[in-house]
């Protein structure tokens, strides 16, 4: 058996190799492992017709000098003898192989469609039949096509804009585009601990490179960079050629902090108010619109997370049951040093701000007999008036068995109280009493005796 290889010189009427590699070495170790003593022949004749020149004894065509393979145009590997000098016979279920190592050219045709080399292999062998007949054949195998693609790496390094010695890990970048060979390329990579990443083996073409990931401690670079890999393997980014050095992209540090304040009962300051609903809105100094919602938790704490420097408005959108909604708007400012300030409120010594909810108020009366101070049930009363916040109120209540009359869910304001119906056997009190309910829950009434 003899292998013949045309070394990318295969051609027909409608195709031929657009480029040729340079032979660098021939690996016959698999043949040796099979017990074969291979002999290697080379030819430097261009476009050698293997069918016409497969006689290895023709020294005008074939040589065993392997000292310089750079000009070799064809190779033959004779596998006729084994390591003992006897004829080598390949069994029907066996196979042999040899490897030819090439170095591709630095550059090929600028036309990406014309980037293939075609290789053809022949096998000269003696075939033995089942009746010991023997016949020599030169068998031409089908060609293989090898595409030449220019590829390059695109390295990126992410750094601190204010301090270029500091690199930034954890930033994701996307590379997308179409190669000159028609391939659609989309890859995403993230900078490592040293702030670098590399898009490897990217085929020649034009691509967009942009930052897609988000690190909360850094402001995203919104620039879309154009990366071009030429057919000569050169890398150009935004018009600048890069030869091994990474594209350096800088980010500014992003100032961001959480802000919290406390909700407390206006009358009993030590009592936390939970489930008060708040809205924060505004625009940061980075130009980002922010709208956040947060409730007060069981400890009365309202927390807004990840605020950037800027000016924001905070207001209560819904009060918990039993409390009046605070209709005030509070201006919150976070400066570029990371310090919060709420303009309409003063912090305590620890820097904590507290906002209060006024509880709904109640009014209790005790109806008594004017002769013996006994308790009178069944007396009906009307309480009406306009609260300080403009809420109109008109409600009725009757004294219970203990003589208690109770009005609940009242807003601070001024009301009139009058008895509308006396129980049987009693005369109705004709007086209309002026009642003042203050925001701290205290009650004022000149005509009635007040009890704490």
Which one of 115, 147, 179 terminates a domain?
A: 147
Give the DSSP H/E element, type plus range, for residue 40: strand 39-43
Do residues 231 and 344 both lie within one domain? Answer: no
Query: Is 449 a member of any domain?
Result: no
Residue 451: predicted pLDDT: 61
Residue 100 · residue 75 · CB < 8 Å: yes
Query: Is 80 a member of any domain?
Result: yes
Do residues 19 and 82 both lie within one domain? Answer: yes
Q: Which residue has the tokens 């310090």?
A: 339
Do residues 351 and 367 both lie within one domain? Answer: no
| Of the candidate ranges 112-121, 156-165, 258-267, 422-431, the one whose mean pLDDT is the lowest | 112-121
Count of structural domains, the chain: 4
How many CB atoms neighbour CB 424 within 10 A? Answer: 5
CA–CA dist 207, 378 (Å, integer): 87
Do residues 288 and 213 both lie within one domain? Answer: no
Does this model's pTM top 0.85? My answer is no
Residue 131 pLDDT class (50, 70, 90 cuts):
low
Do residues 6 and 130 both lie within one domain? Answer: yes
Residue 312: predicted pLDDT: 98
Which one of 183, 218, 251 terminates a domain?
A: 251
Q: What are the angstrom distances between the C-alpha of 199 and each of 129, 160, 174?
A: 56, 21, 9
Residue 446 pLDDT class (50, 70, 90 cuts):
confident
| Res 16 pLDDT > 60 | yes
- Looking at the DSSP bridge assignments, the partners of residue 260 are 303
Residue 452: predicted pLDDT: 53
Residue 434: predicted pLDDT: 93
Do residues 19 and 116 both lie within one domain? Answer: yes
- Looking at the DSSP bridge assignments, the partners of residue 249 are 158
Give the DSSP H/E element, type plus range, for residue 235: strand 235-237
Do residues 41 and 138 both lie within one domain? Answer: yes
- Above pLDDT 90, what percent of the chain? 75
| Res 412 pLDDT > 60 | yes
Which one of 331, 357, 383 terminates a domain?
A: 357
Query: Is 452 a member of any domain?
Result: no
Which pair of structure tokens corresponds to residue 59? Answer: 């020294």
CA–CA dist 130, 143 (Å, integer): 30
Do residues 143 and 6 both lie within one domain? Answer: yes
Query: Is 410 a member of any domain?
Result: yes
CA–CA dist 172, 272 (Å, integer): 43
Do residues 102 and 226 both lie within one domain? Answer: no
Do residues 140 and 109 both lie within one domain? Answer: yes
Of 38, 15, 35, residue with least CA distance to 100: 38
CA–CA dist 3, 150 (Å, integer): 31
Residue 107: predicted pLDDT: 74
Q: What are the angstrom distances between the C-alpha of 337 and each of 254, 257, 287, 315, 356?
A: 11, 11, 17, 25, 28
Residue 133 pLDDT class (50, 70, 90 cuts):
low
Domain that holds residue 324: 257-357
Do residues 243 and 176 both lie within one domain? Answer: yes
- pLDDT of 148-177, one tens digit each? 888 999 999 999 999 999 999 999 999 999
3-class secondary-structure state, position 300? coil
Of 367, 361, 357, residue with least CA distance to 408: 361
Residue 113: predicted pLDDT: 66
Do residues 265 and 314 both lie within one domain? Answer: yes
Q: What residues contact 293, with CB distance under 8 A and at least 6 apart?
A: 277, 278, 279, 280, 317
CA–CA dist 10, 120 (Å, integer): 6
Of 123, 155, 115, residue with least CA distance to 140: 123
Which pair of structure tokens corresponds to residue 153? Answer: 């790496």
Residue 112: predicted pLDDT: 64
Q: What is the CATH number of the domain that holds 239?
A: 2.60.40.10
């Amino acid at each position: 058996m003899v292998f013949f290889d045309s070394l990318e010189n295969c051609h027909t009427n409608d195709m031929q190799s657009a480029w040729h590699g340079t032979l660098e070495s021939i690996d016959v170790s698999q043949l040796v492992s099979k017990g074969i003593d291979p002999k290697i022949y080379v030819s430097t004749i261009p476009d050698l017709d293997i069918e016409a020149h497969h006689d290895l004894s023709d020294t005008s065509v074939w040589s065993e000098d392997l000292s310089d393979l750079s000009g070799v145009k064809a190779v033959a590997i004779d596998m006729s003898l084994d390591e003992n000098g006897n004829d080598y016979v390949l069994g029907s279920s066996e196979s042999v192989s040899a490897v030819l190592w090439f170095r591709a050219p630095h550059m090929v045709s600028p036309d990406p469609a014309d980037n293939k080399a075609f290789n053809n292999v022949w096998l000269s062998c003696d075939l033995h039949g089942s009746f010991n007949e023997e016949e020599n054949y030169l068998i031409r195998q089908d060609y293989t096509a090898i595409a030449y693609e220019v590829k390059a790496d695109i390295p990126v390094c992410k750094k601190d804009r204010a301090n270029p010695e500091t690199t930034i890990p954890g930033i994701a970048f996307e590379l997308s585009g179409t190669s000159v060979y028609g391939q659609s390329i989309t890859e995403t990579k993230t900078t490592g601990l040293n702030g670098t990443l590399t898009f490897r083996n990217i085929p020649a073409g034009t691509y967009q490179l942009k930052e897609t990931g988000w690190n909360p401690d850094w402001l995203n670079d919104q620039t879309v960079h154009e990366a071009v890999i030429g057919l000569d393997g050169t890398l150009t980014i935004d018009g600048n050629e890069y030869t091994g050095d990474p594209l350096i992209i800088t980010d500014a540090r992003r100032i961001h902090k959480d802000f919290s304040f406390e909700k407390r009962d206006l009358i009993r300051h030590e009592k936390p108010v939970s489930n008060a609903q708040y809205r924060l809105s505004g625009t940061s100094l980075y130009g980002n619109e922010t709208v956040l919602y947060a409730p007060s938790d069981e400890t009365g704490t309202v927390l807004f997370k990840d605020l950037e420097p800027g000016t924001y408005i905070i207001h209560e959108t819904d009060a918990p049951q039993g409390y009046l909604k605070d209709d005030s708007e509070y201006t919150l400012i976070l400066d570029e040093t990371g310090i919060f300030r709420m303009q309409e409120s003063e912090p305590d010594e620890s820097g904590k701000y507290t906002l209060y909810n006024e509880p709904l108020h109640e009014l209790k009366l005790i109806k008594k007999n004017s002769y013996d101070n006994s308790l009178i049930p069944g007396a009906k009363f009307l309480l009406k008036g306009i609260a300080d916040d403009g809420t109109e109120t008109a409600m009725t209540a009757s004294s219970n068995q203990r003589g208690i009359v109770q009005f609940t869910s009242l807003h601070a304001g001024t009301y009139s109280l009058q008895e509308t119906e006396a129980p049987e056997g009693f005369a109705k009190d004709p007086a209309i009493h002026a009642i003042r309910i203050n925001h701290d829950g205290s009650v004022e009434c000149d005509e009635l005796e007040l009890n704490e």
